[in-house]
């Protein structure tokens, strides 16, 4: 089934780790399939997720250890049992994990134990070996580096690659051969986990296709410093002789922070990327379009210009704007893929040049209703009467407070402006905001699952500029029930967004 961002539709933002489940965080198992069916019952067309790579610093999906690999935390242990790779008895003594929050350390430790058992079984399953080898060959361009990186990292107690022995850090050929030989069992374990992730992903995507649900993925413009990508392709980034970044990514002071945001990602050598025909980006987008039906490009403004911060600066205040790759990159992507099913996350310091780049490739931008009533100088552009059809409208995103939490913190002036615009008394502000977004002319309307439930700040997914306590919110079993489903279905019908 084909999905188009130009059709009038709607959907829900919910990361798979936020699903309920017995093993510390949500995954690609039964609960994911049930949520897809819930979306269908609510008349929705799209399921938006955050990046699904192996999480790194701060448990952030935006700091993944690979731009290509899938997170082993999302592998369904119950499905492994159904496949005969994991005995049911191995799951019988699962630890008691907290409900309502993701326990990443606990989930990782438990799942690693189970995945090792599954791998030992898998090695003796001849029926799976051909598919495994085909997968390994098809993904060799990233899988071999990632498996070796992950194996070395695990054997070094999770140290960053810049803290490994100098010869491994520098990818000396003989040192890599020795590591590959010494760690061959762990390397195969990592390849196996990626194979299983891909199989469970295909199962979920197939079910979503049957239900008429399209998947929206997320591509961070920058990659994590401690990643297989930077380790394996040092020539593509501004690094010193020891592999440390000389300049890093971030944004100047904005809505979220008075001192800006110092993300810490190494910056690309775009000239080197251009000389390769943007091979890294073509491979990255190609894989994402195999996993997803559409892709959100995080920090789209960075493709036109980005904020370069000296690595030794403690904040993002003392940076400078540097030109990005601009149209050259998107021309290469369009030549490889044709019309691009990409969403431009164009929030922040938007200039006419950013808008021109977005529009030249017919990419929908993002409209965020919460921003319409605050102190953002671009606030009027986020009022629905200023939306255009080729846009994606949100109540809020993963970086915002929930709608209820946001509303409760508003000053009196902003609160009155919001209530006057909505024609509301604020008793169900989350549904009033959803209604406003759904009624807009934007082709696509999206709301986080937390807003469907009217959760306060306890449901916030991420607070930019903080390093801990983020990405942990989860649904409790049965929490997203029939009442919000029926209400969302009604709004979707009223405003002409119902799935075909």
CA dist., res. 472 & res. 404, Å (int): 18
Cα–Cα distance measured from residue 290 to residue 304, given in angstroms and rounded to the nearest whole number: 26
List 186, 346, 399, 432, catalytic entry: 399
Which residue among the candidates 226, 298, 346, 472 is catalytic per the annotation? 298
d(CA 356, CA 358): 5
User: DSSP of 474-498, one letter per residue?
Assistant: -PPTT-S-HHHHHHHHHHHHHTT--
Distance CA 191, CA 146 (A): 9
Radius of gyration (C-alpha) of the chain in whole angstroms: 22
Q: CB–CB of 274/322 below 8 Å?
A: no
Q: Which of 27, 31, 226, 345 is catalytic?
A: 345
Any idea which residue has 């809020």 for tokens? 396
For strands 444-448 and 9-13, give the pairing: parallel
Direct distance between the N- and C-terminal alpha carbons of the chain, in angstroms, rounded to an integer: 11
Name the nearest CA neighbour of 295 among 206, 220, 198.
220
Q: Is 298 in the active site?
A: yes
Where in 130-246 does DSSP place strands (E)? 214-219
- Reply yes or no on whether 345 is catalytic: yes
Q: Give the integer Cα–Cα distance in Å for 389 and 242.
A: 49
Please state, as a whole number, how many other Cβ atoms lie within 10 Å of the Cβ of residue 167.
14
177 is catalytic: no
DSSP class of 213? -
Helix (H) or strand (E) holding 288: helix 279-291
Spatial distance between the Cα atoms of 252 and 127, rounded to a whole number of angstroms? 54
Q: Which two tokens stand for residue 118?
A: 């599954």
The residues annotated as belonging to the active site are: 298, 345, 399
């Amino acid at each position: 089934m084909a999905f188009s961002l130009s059709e009038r539709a709607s959907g829900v933002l919910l990361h798979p780790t936020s699903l309920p489940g017995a093993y510390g965080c949500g995954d690609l198992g039964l609960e994911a399939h049930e949520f897809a069916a819930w979306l269908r019952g609510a008349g929705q067309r799209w399921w938006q997720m955050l990046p699904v790579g192996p999480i790194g610093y701060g448990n952030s999906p935006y700091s993944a250890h690979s731009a290509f690999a899938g997170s082993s935390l999302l592998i369904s242990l119950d499905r492994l049992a159904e496949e005969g790779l994991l005995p049911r008895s191995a799951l019988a003594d699962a630890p008691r994990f907290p409900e309502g929050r993701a326990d990443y350390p606990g989930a990782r430790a438990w799942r690693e134990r189970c995945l090792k058992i599954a791998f030992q079984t898998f090695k003796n399953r001849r029926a799976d070996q051909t598919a495994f080898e085909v997968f390994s060959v098809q993904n060799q361009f990233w899988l071999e580096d990632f498996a070796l990186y992950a194996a070395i990292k695990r054997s070094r107690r999770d140290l960053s690659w810049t803290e490994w022995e100098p010869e491994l850090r520098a990818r000396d050929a003989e040192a890599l051969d020795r590591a590959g030989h010494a760690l061959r069992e762990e390397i195969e374990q990592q390849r196996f986990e990626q194979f299983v992730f891909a199989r469970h992903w295909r199962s979920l995507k197939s079910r979503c296709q049957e239900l008429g649900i399209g998947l929206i993925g997320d591509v961070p413009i920058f990659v994590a410093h401690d990643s297989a990508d930077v380790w394996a392709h040092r020539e593509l980034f501004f690094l010193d002789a020891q592999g440390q970044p000389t300049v890093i990514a971030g944004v100047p002071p904005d809505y979220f922070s008075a001192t800006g945001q110092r993300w810490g990602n190494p910056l690309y050598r775009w000239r080197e990327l251009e000389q390769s025909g943007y091979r890294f980006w073509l491979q990255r987008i190609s894989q994402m379009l195999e996993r997803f039906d559409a892709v959100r490009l995080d920090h789209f403004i960075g493709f036109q210009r980005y904020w370069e911060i000296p690595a030794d600066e403690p904040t993002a205040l003392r940076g400078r704007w540097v030109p990005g790759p601009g149209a050259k990159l998107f021309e290469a992507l369009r030549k490889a893929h044709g019309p691009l099913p990409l969403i431009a996350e164009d929030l922040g310091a938007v200039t006419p040049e950013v808008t021109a780049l977005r529009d030249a490739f017919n990419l929908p931008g993002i409209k965020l209703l919460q921003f319409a009533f605050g102190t953002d100088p671009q606030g009027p552009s986020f009022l629905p009467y200023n939306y255009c059809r080729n846009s994606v409208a949100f109540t809020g995103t993963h970086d915002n407070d929930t709608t209820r939490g946001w509303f409760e913190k508003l000053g009196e002036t902003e609160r009155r402006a919001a209530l006057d615009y909505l024609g509301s008394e604020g008793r169900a502000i989350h549904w009033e905001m959803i209604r406003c977004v759904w009624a807009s002319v934007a082709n696509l309307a999206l709301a986080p699952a937390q807003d469907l439930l009217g959760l306060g700040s306890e449901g916030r997914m991420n607070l930019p500029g903080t390093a801990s306590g983020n990405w942990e919110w989860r649904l409790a079993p049965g929490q997203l029930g029939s009442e919000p489903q029926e209400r969302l279905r009604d709004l979707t019908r009223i405003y002409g967004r119902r799935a075909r």
